[in-house]
């Protein structure tokens, strides 16, 4: 997921001030290990932030030796666990003593605020694998570049993009009750009623939850938000990142807000009708995330959930096989198949913007350039992500790889770096044997028509549009005000405890605009235009 945010433009001025501080900090620390050698080769410090304590020690990977040979250096690894990273990161950024290379550690915002990182733009030609990555994925390059073309952080590209959320329906229940996949909200409502009344899990108990939704959250609409249903009304959601999470969307290059839209109103009214018919649990909007997640897995013997927004069938635990993706239903029957859309978070799932940074003015830049180029090669990317070739992955030639069952056999053992890698998967690479990819690809196939109904980056916020520091601060402050006020109200309209769409709705609309919603739209339009005009 992209660590989104701010700014690059004010940065140079900030950088100049901070540079003096950094020089002092570095000399106080003795300038790190720049003079150290092992067997006559320079030692390069490489920090990796792990996402899980299940990962094997990095030295267990044989590709580490390949990497050392490629960089003609000796690597001193430092692994930081995710739960310790926030503290470590702030200590490092305070001292200015950053490692030679940091993987999945610093993002473009950090680089914008602190002058400790090398501008890698002049080195791209010396790293043909990175150059190829950017040539094939201009969005990935723009995402980490400022308006002057400087870039201090390299992104990663994950295997096979796509949205990480889908309408997942219990297909086994549909089949058992002789029902078709619903194509409209009305049909879906009838299906949910049947789920509630006809004991589709066959245990003789009325324990079915026809539709489970997650709470709205307090600090923005998150990637599994029930507002994903807006796709049924034609609004392109981007639940996994960017300003959609704060009420912004884009249509035909025009930045808009959905928090006061008729489409939101229509969605809230549909939800309220479902709450009223007890087709959604009464307490759904107050349950915490872990309770929601565990509810999806049903009981040991029976599935209990009929419909939910989820990544893929695995979200339903041992009952995964019963679930399939439901193509976006139309909000009403008068709409055409061209009017519905599905979530445009694909680029947020495909790329992450914080995967490799290099210390500024590092004395071993030649070795580091070789190291990075090796990491971003196809085979090294595959090995970093899944594990060593041939022990854990079979290279079948022609950019096709088969991942061994061993990699997924024990949920308590994670090989190699997985999502903590610094590398990329070109679109032509074929991966077999990864059950997550297979399941996601199948779920995504239900949305091909809905995806074809809009243009990414014209009808959604490009991942490379960023606000500058000042505007980001304004945007954040506005959001705090807007969401504190709006979310409790939206929850009430959603669960039907409030139904006044006349006077109270009008008051709500004028109040959120007063709190900065209109200003937020203008800020994003300004930067959308600036980045769109950028010669790239």
Residues that bind Mg ion (CB under 5 A): 199, 201, 203, 205, 207
| Pick 205 or 441: Cβ nearer Mg ion | 205
Question: Do 54 and 109 form a contact (C-beta atoms < 8 A)?
Answer: no
Q: How far is the CB of 283 from Mg ion (least distance, A)?
A: 19
Ranges of beta strands (E only) in 91-172 are: 101-103, 153-157, 166-170
Q: What are residue 44's DSSP bridge partners?
A: 75
The number of C-alpha atoms within 13 Å of 65 and in the hemisphere containing its C-beta is 5
The reply to whether omega before 390 is within 30° of 0 (cis) is yes
Phi, psi (deg, nearest 5) at residue 284: -55, -40
Distance CA 288, CA 278 (A): 19
Distance CA 281, CA 106 (A): 41
Q: Estimate to the nearest angstrom the gap between the alpha carbon of 299 and the chain centroid.
A: 29
The DSSP annotation for 33-93 comes to TTT-EETTEEEEEEEEEES-TTBPPGGG-THHHHHHHHHTSEEEEEEEEHHHHHHHHHHHH
Q: How far is the CB of 326 from Mg ion (least distance, A)?
A: 21
Q: How far is the CB of 273 from Mg ion (least distance, A)?
A: 23
The tokens for 458 are: 């014209």
Pairing of strands 166-170, 41-50: unpaired
Q: How far is the CB of 318 from Mg ion (least distance, A)?
A: 16
Q: How far is the CB of 178 from Mg ion (least distance, A)?
A: 17
The DSSP annotation for 363-412 comes to TTHHHHHHHHHHHTSHHHHHHHHT--TTTTEEE-STTEEEE-THHHH-TT
Q: How far is the CB of 70 from Mg ion (least distance, A)?
A: 58
**Three-state secondary-structure class, residue 382:** helix
| Pick 198 or 532: Cβ nearer Mg ion | 198
Size of the chain in residues: 536
| Pick 14 or 302: Cβ nearer Mg ion | 302
| Pick 153 or 209: Cβ nearer Mg ion | 209
SS3 content of the chain, % helix, strand, coil (to 5): 45, 15, 40
**Residue 467 neighbours by CB distance under 10 Å:** 24
Pairing of strands 400-403, 351-358: unpaired
| Pick 199 or 263: Cβ nearer Mg ion | 199
Q: How far is the CB of 207 from Mg ion (least distance, A)?
A: 5
Distance CA 294, CA 315 (A): 9
Q: How far is the CB of 274 from Mg ion (least distance, A)?
A: 19
Q: Which of 76, 88, 104 is nearest to 417 (CA)?
A: 104
| Pick 76 or 203: Cβ nearer Mg ion | 203
- Torsional class of 149: left (φ above 0), alpha (ψ -120 to 50), beta (otherwise): left
The tokens for 269 are: 């009214």
| Pick 178 or 252: Cβ nearer Mg ion | 178
| Pick 199 or 266: Cβ nearer Mg ion | 199
Q: How far is the CB of 276 from Mg ion (least distance, A)?
A: 22
Distance CA 206, CA 56 (A): 45
Pairing of strands 153-157, 351-358: antiparallel
| Pick 193 or 492: Cβ nearer Mg ion | 193
| Pick 59 or 207: Cβ nearer Mg ion | 207
Q: How far is the CB of 210 from Mg ion (least distance, A)?
A: 11
Distance CA 331, CA 188 (A): 10
Q: How far is the CB of 298 from Mg ion (least distance, A)?
A: 10
Q: How far is the CB of 272 from Mg ion (least distance, A)?
A: 25
| Pick 173 or 415: Cβ nearer Mg ion | 173
Question: Do 166 and 325 form a contact (C-beta atoms < 8 A)?
Answer: yes
Q: How far is the CB of 204 from Mg ion (least distance, A)?
A: 7
* End-to-end CA gap in the chain: 23
Q: Where are the alpha helices (DSSP H) in 201-335?
A: 262-276, 289-295
| Pick 199 or 339: Cβ nearer Mg ion | 199
| Pick 278 or 406: Cβ nearer Mg ion | 278
């Amino acid at each position: 997921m992209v660590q989104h945010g701010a700014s690059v433009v004010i940065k140079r001025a900030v950088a100049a001030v901070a540079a003096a501080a950094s020089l002092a900090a570095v000399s106080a620390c003795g300038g790190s290990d720049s003079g150290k050698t092992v067997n006559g080769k320079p030692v390069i410090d490489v920090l990796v932030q792990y996402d899980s304590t299940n990962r094997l020690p990095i030295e267990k990977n044989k590709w580490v030796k390949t990497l050392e040979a490629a960089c003609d250096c000796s690597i001193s690894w430092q692994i930081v666990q995710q739960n310790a990273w926030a503290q470590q990161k702030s200590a490092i950024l305070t001292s200015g003593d950053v490692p030679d290379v940091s993987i999945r550690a610093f993002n473009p915002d950090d680089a914008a605020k602190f002058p400790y990182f090398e501008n890698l733009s002049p080195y791209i030609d010396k790293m043909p694998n990175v150059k190829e990555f950017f040539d094939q994925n201009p969005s990935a390059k723009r995402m980490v570049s400022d308006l002057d073309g400087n870039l201090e952080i390299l992104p990663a590209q994950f295997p096979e993009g796509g949205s990480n959320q889908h309408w997942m329906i219990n297909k086994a229940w549909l089949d058992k009750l002789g029902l078709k996949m619903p194509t409209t909200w009305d049909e879906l409502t009838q299906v949910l009623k049947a789920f509630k009344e006809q004991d589709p899990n066959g245990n003789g108990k009325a324990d079915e939850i026809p539709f489970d939704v997650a709470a709205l959250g307090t600090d923005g609409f998150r990637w599994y938000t029930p507002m994903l249903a807006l796709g049924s009304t034609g609004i392109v959601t981007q639940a996994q990142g960017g300003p959609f999470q704060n009420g912004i969307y884009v249509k035909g290059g025009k930045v808009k807000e959905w928090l006061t839209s008729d489409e939101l109103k229509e969605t809230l009214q549909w939800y309220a009708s479902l709450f009223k018919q007890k087709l959604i649990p009464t307490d759904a909007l107050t349950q915490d995330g872990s309770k929601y997640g565990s509810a999806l897995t049903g009981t040991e013997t029976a599935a209990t959930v009929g419909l939910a927004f989820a990544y893929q069938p695995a979200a339903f635990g041992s009952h995964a096989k019963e679930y399939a993706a439901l193509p976006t239903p139309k909000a009403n029957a008068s709409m055409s198949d061209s009017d519905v859309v599905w979530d445009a978070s694909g680029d947020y799932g495909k790329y992450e913007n914080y995967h490799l940074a290099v210390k500024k003015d590092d004395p071993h830049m030649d070795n580091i350039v070789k190291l990075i180029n090796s990491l971003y090669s196809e085979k090294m990317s595959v090995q970093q992500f899944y594990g060593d070739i041939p022990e854990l992955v079979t290279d079948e030639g022609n950019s096709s790889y088969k991942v061994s069952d061993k990699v997924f056999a024990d949920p308590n053992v994670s090989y190699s770096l997985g999502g903590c890698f610094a590398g990329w998967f070109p679109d032509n690479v074929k991966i077999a044997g990864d059950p997550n990819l297979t399941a996601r690809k199948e779920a995504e196939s239900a949305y091909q028509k809905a995806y074809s109904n809009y243009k990414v980056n014209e009808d959604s916020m490009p991942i490379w549009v960023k606000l500058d520091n000042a505007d980001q601060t304004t945007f954040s402050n506005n959001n705090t005000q807007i969401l504190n006020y709006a979310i409790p109200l939206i929850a009430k309209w959603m669960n039907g405890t409030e139904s006044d769409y006349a006077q109270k709705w009008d008051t709500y609309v004028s109040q959120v605009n007063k709190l900065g919603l209109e200003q937020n739209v203008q800020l994003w339009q300004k930067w959308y235009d600036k980045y769109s005009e950028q010669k790239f």
